[in-house]
Amino acid sequence: MAGTALDRDEIIAGLRDLVSELRAAGEIAGIRLVGGAALALRYFDRGTTKDLDALHVRPGSDESVAAAAARVANRRGWDAHWLNFEVNNADAIPTLGRAVEWETIYDKSGIEIQVASKEAMLAMKLRANRPGRDTRDIRLLLALCDIHTFEGAEELYEEFYPGDLLTERAERMVNAILDGAPTPAPPPPGPLEI
């Protein structure tokens, strides 16, 4: 997969294969996704992502899920880390403020896949605020969360990251987005069949 990206159909196919691998191994797993893959699966068409950002598996084990994901990668010719647990080390997931709400998008036979709420996704994207890379996601998440002022974005961010302020770069990004034409909330992506 080096140098390529996963679109929504490939993400779904990879998750379908992952579920099959876990079932064949008799594993249970609770997988929580954030980042671009979560956005593509649940909230809006976002093009592609290079990997699926996953949190620690509960119940089950990261090692079992990573091994199953490596088998999927080998079969599909993808990078071995297409299911990426590095987000756990990135200080991106809110832990001190408002609890992240999770939406279950798959739950069968002891395997559950969840994505973070749109509000939590917006807070995490505001924290990352990578120009170009996060701008469109932030624009669409602001619309989905019905936030139309910088103060509203800042208030939401501080709910998840109490005591932290948005960086100047994030402030400039949000103000530039809000100063443009209003963004209508995007339509949700099509049905999810894993």
Whether residue 105 contacts residue 113, with contact meaning beta carbons closer than 8 Å, is answered with yes
Residue 80, Ramachandran bin (φ over 0: left; ψ between -120 and 50: alpha; else beta): alpha
Give per-residue pLDDT as tens, 32-51: 999 999 999 999 988 899 99
Enumerate long-range contacts of 90-93, CB under 8 Å, 24 or more apart.
92/34, 92/124, 92/127, 92/128, 93/34, 93/55, 93/124
C-alpha 145: how far from chain center: 16
Per-residue pLDDT at 4? 62
Query: Is residue 3 predicted with pLDDT exceeding 60?
Result: no
* Sheet strand arrangement including 83-84: 83-84, 52-54, 29-34, 111-116, 102-108
The mean pLDDT value of the chain amounts to 93
Give per-residue pLDDT as tens, 66-117: 999 999 999 999 998 999 999 887 777 888 899 999 999 999 999 999 999 9
Q: What is the DSSP letter of 52?
A: E
Q: CA 186 to CA 166: how far, in whole Å? A: 25
Name the residue with tokens 């961010």.
157
Per-residue pLDDT at 24? 96
Whether residue 117 contacts residue 103, with contact meaning beta carbons closer than 8 Å, is answered with yes
Beta strands in the chain (DSSP E): 6-7, 29-34, 48-49, 52-54, 83-84, 102-108, 111-116
Beta strands in 14-97 (DSSP E): 29-34, 48-49, 52-54, 83-84
